[in-house]
Structure 1
């Protein structure tokens, strides 16, 4: 996921303030994810579970990221597309429901880990992080299609 992000930053970085902000927030989310999951470059060598506070901190970042997309970025992209052609608008509107599927998975993850008062929930973390990663990777691909529309037609 980080490799794809680096390619996106090289391709679209600096072309548009909204794109730069969006990619920066994606990077912050991914860094927290990798740290929480104990993956390189932040590999946890002592094989202990993260604290519930670390998980909740990640959940806050996750909710901020998905909320930013739905309440700020996507609206701006669709508005720009509406001004510049029905084809672009139709493409953007086709992508939004696909992105929403990953939003539901992210919010379910958030609810599970922020509402639990039992630290034993952390025994499910690896499996849940893996499912979340699959959903977010798909989301990033769809978001990149939106970025491409924004970049190619409106930057």
Structure 2
């Protein structure tokens, strides 16, 4: 029994570190998003393009880490604890998927190479929609973290 408790702590303790690292990536994403959305000189396409590209890099890293690392671990944890978390994930995950589509579409707009002034104006419009999608995504991710991981932390500590 003691061995099972240690295994559980080792297994799910790593999830906390994964989530912490991912939330730092979220913070970096927000910094890049806010810096770009606050740009006042939207005419200087040469200066804006690298900022859009960097935002997309951080955005894709964040989205990928969520889908291929964090959500996977949260769902595994929900299976292990079998306390209703899988049902929550089944309801929330499709909504997160919708925000992923918005992020992917935004990223795809920059794959075409150099931007023109017209492209830039359209991207700022899409940037606003991306911000709304990210806000929704962060709320849903926070629910998943709270319900699928934080709820189990006290169970692990008491073991």
- Shorter chain as normaliser: what TM range? 0.7 to 0.9
1:154–1:137 distance in 2 versus 1, CA, 3 Å: same
Tell me which moved more, 116-125 or 80-89.
116-125
Which of 140, 143, 146 aligns to 2:141? It is: 143
Distance in 1 of aligned mates of 2:125 and 2:34: 14
Distance in 1 of aligned mates of 2:40 and 2:103: 27
Tell me which moved more, 87-96 or 68-77.
87-96
Please provide the CA RMSD for this pair.
1.9
- 1:95 partnered with 2:95: no
Runs of at least 5 residues in structure 1 that lack an aligned partner in the other structure? 1-14, 39-43
Contact 1:18/1:73 (CA < 8 Å) preserved in 2? yes
Contact 1:52/1:119 (CA < 8 Å) preserved in 2? no
Match of 2:72 in 1: 75
1:46–1:130 distance in 2 versus 1, CA, 3 Å: closer
In the superposition, the TM-score normalised over structure 2's length comes to 0.78
Tell me which moved more, 135-144 or 145-154.
145-154
Contact 1:78/1:93 (CA < 8 Å) preserved in 2? no
Distance in 2 of aligned mates of 1:82 and 1:95: 16
Distance in 2 of aligned mates of 1:93 and 1:131: 25
In the superposition, the TM-score normalised over structure 1's length comes to 0.80
Match of 1:4 in 2: none
Runs of at least 5 residues in structure 2 that lack an aligned partner in the other structure? 1-14, 155-159
Match of 1:85 in 2: 82
For residue 114 of structure 2, give the secondary structure of its aligned residue in structure 1: coil
Cα offset, 1:90, TM superposition: 1.2
Say how many residue pairs are matched: 136
Structure showing the higher helix proportion among its residues: 2
Larger Rg: 2
Runs of 4+ off more than 3 Å: 44-50
